[in-house]
Amino acid sequence: MNQPWSERRAQLAAETIGMKIPVLETERLALRGHRLEDFPACAGLWADPIVTRYIGGVPLTAEEAWARLLRYAGHWALLGFGYWVAEEKATGEFLGEIGFADLKRDLDPPLGAIPEAGWVFTPAAHGQGYATEALRAILSWGESHFSNPKTACLIHPDNVASIKVAEKCGYRDALRTTYKGKPTVVFFREIPRRTASAGFPALAK
């Protein structure tokens, strides 16, 4: 029997409080910090060629997925933002990952310290509006936590589904460039300045 969501929410908050990772809720989703027991699901997600088709183009090994999981924790610990696990509230099923990152990408022009949004969902979760629902939730969180009014996202030009998600959430095509020899589109979104928090350090534009 599935644990009631009200009980699980309190448990998740308690488990992530040490890292100060907030639990965000949408109608169907819970966004919460990664835990060690998420690794098999994370590794399976990134080993799927459908998932990585437009993200690097090559499935990740378990070693590479482990490094990614540690990077998520490092973002929250050092920068105060990072990635969440997206799970279905009704079942607790792992659906994917979404969040903000500062990856120091070798781009021309560089992003600097502009937070970069990213999302990835299991093939079974595609086409159901989960990515849009989750992205709106983290952008709302970002509007009250980032002093810089701008966030970015990088999307392969052939990834029509992700481009639609980005545009629905206010991102606009700003730059065509390459990253690691592959074409990419850089999208930007402005955060309303009136909602930006003064409690977080300003991030470079």
pLDDT digits (tens, 9 = 90+) for 62-93: 999 999 999 999 999 999 999 999 999 999 99
Beta-carbon contacts of 150 under 8 Å, excluding residues fewer than 6 positions away, are 114, 188, 189, 190, 191, 205
pLDDT tens digits, 138-184: 999 999 899 888 999 999 999 999 999 999 999 999 999 999 988 99
Per-residue confidence at 121, pLDDT binned at 50, 70, 90? very high
Strand, helix or coil for residue 151: strand
Q: Are 31 and 138 in contact (CB under 8 A)?
A: yes
> Of 157, 145, 137, nearest to 191 (Cα)?
145
Reply yes or no on whether the pLDDT at 3 is more than 90.
no
Reply yes or no on whether the pLDDT at 48 is more than 60.
yes
> Of 160, 127, 146, 132, nearest to 193 (Cα)?
146
57: left (phi over 0), alpha (psi -120 to 50) or beta: left
How many C-beta atoms lie closer than 10 Å to residue 101's C-beta?
A: 17
CA distance 167 to 173: 8
Per-residue confidence at 114, pLDDT binned at 50, 70, 90? very high
pLDDT at 148: 80
- The tokens describing 155, both together, are 């999307």
pLDDT at 203: 35
Reply yes or no on whether the pLDDT at 109 is more than 50.
yes
Q: Which residue matches tokens 């990419």?
A: 184
Per-residue confidence at 197, pLDDT binned at 50, 70, 90? very low
Domain ranges (residues) in the chain: 5-195
5-195 CATH choice from 3.90.1170.50, 1.10.3720.10, 3.40.630.30, 3.65.10.10: 3.40.630.30
pLDDT at 47: 98
> Of 49, 184, 53, nearest to 106 (Cα)?
184
- Residue 141 CB burial class (10 angstroms; 0-12, 13-18, ≥19): middle
DSSP class per residue in 42-54:
HHHHHT-HHHHTT
pLDDT at 20: 78
